[in-house]
């Protein structure tokens, strides 16, 4: 890719920009933010790390969306972060206005771009971006399942004392307290996890995954997670930039898949050069199906509070 823009130069955005550059996923990474000096300073700082880390991706910062013109991919992290006691949904009013403004700029300066949404409440912000840009569902996708799955896998690796690389798993549903870790598809090098860990412990890990973001917010007090969210966003960006056709759980616009339509929800997606190239239909247990529909209902409730 020629150019990737990261919107929002806070902790998540800056971490995304650094990882994108280090992986050399584009010739140029642009960090854009409304606060004067912050994106310029962080972009310059990152570019000065290039001779040490050995990457040639040029990182720069700006307050002007004109500098993002022609970007192939946008990673949108703009918005306020959660604080203790806040749910992702509490962010909705403020972040809707921010994401609307960002989406208009993307539409104007890079009408052919693909958008990876990271701002919360994630599934609803994807919908806002899709509505405002008018982009096809293939070109607006949300980072949620990749992060939730990483948390689930890390907790399982810890409990089983095995490598994180050997744990295959998927977390579907809305990016919130109603997310659906698919125990029926969780394996350790192909061995069903239910053969290796008792149900009670597994349920505790599932519950910890659902509250993974809140757990970090409670520790940090003044902000929310950023290393793992940035890693998850870059995992998706790499799949698109390198046309890898990776199967990752992402928030995608549903048009009848899983018996749901007219909303964004975390489902298994094939990510490649055109964005969401396919939504994979996997068989769910009746319990997982019920949980997924409950999760969808939670997303719809927030959508109903949004005025576009």
Q: Which residues are catalytic?
A: 175
How many whole angstroms separate alpha carbon 287 and alpha carbon 82?
30
Q: Which of 245, 292, 288, 303 is nearest to 266 (CA)?
A: 292
How many whole angstroms separate alpha carbon 207 and alpha carbon 179?
10
DSSP E strand stretches across the chain: 3-7, 28-32, 58-62, 73-76, 114-117, 140-142, 167-168, 171-172, 180-181, 187-188, 191-192, 246-255, 261-272, 275-279
How many whole angstroms separate alpha carbon 63 and alpha carbon 74?
15
How many whole angstroms separate alpha carbon 296 and alpha carbon 168?
24
Q: What is the DSSP letter of 173?
A: B
* 264 and 299 Cβ atoms separated by less than 8 Å: yes
Query: How far apart, in Å, are the Cα atoms of 13 and each of 31, 59, 136, 156, 278?
Result: 8, 13, 24, 28, 27
Q: At what angle do helices 92-109 and 122-133 cross, to 10 degrees?
A: 40
How many whole angstroms separate alpha carbon 9 and alpha carbon 41?
10
């Amino acid at each position: 890719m020629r150019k990737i823009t990261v919107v929002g130069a806070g902790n998540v955005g800056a971490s995304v920009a650094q990882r994108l550059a280090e992986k050399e996923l584009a010739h140029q990474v642009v960090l854009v933010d409304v606060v004067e000096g912050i994106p310029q300073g962080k972009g310059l700082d990152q570019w000065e790390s290039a001779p040490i880390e050995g990457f040639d991706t040029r990182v720069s910062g700006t307050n002007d969306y004109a500098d993002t013109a022609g970007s192939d991919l946008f990673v949108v992290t703009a918005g306020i972060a959660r604080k203790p006691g806040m749910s992702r949904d509490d962010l909705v009013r403020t972040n809707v206005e921010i994401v609307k403004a960002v989406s208009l700029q993307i539409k104007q300066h890079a009408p052919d771009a693909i958008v990876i949404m990271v701002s919360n409440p994630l599934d609803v912000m994807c919908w806002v971006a899709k509505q405002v840009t008018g982009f096809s569902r293939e070109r607006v996708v949300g980072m949620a399942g990749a992060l939730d799955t990483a948390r689930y896998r890390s907790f399982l690796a810890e409990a089983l004392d095995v490598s994180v690389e050997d744990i295959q798993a998927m977390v579907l549903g809305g990016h919130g307290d109603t997310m659906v870790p698919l125990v029926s598809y969780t394996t350790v090098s192909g061995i069903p996890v239910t053969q290796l860990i008792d149900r009670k412990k597994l349920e505790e890990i599932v519950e910890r995954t659902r509250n993974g973001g809140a757990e970090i917010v409670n520790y940090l007090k003044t902000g929310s997670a950023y290393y793992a969210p940035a890693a998850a966003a870059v995992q998706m960006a790499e799949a698109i930039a390198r046309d890898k056709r990776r199967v990752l759980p992402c928030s995608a616009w549903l048009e009848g898949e899983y018996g749901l339509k007219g909303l964004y929800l975390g489902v298994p997606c094939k990510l490649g050069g055109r964005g969401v190239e396919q939504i994979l239909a996997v068989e769910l247990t009746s319990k997982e199906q019920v949980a997924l529909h409950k999760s969808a209902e939670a997303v719809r409730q927030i959508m109903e509070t949004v005025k576009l």
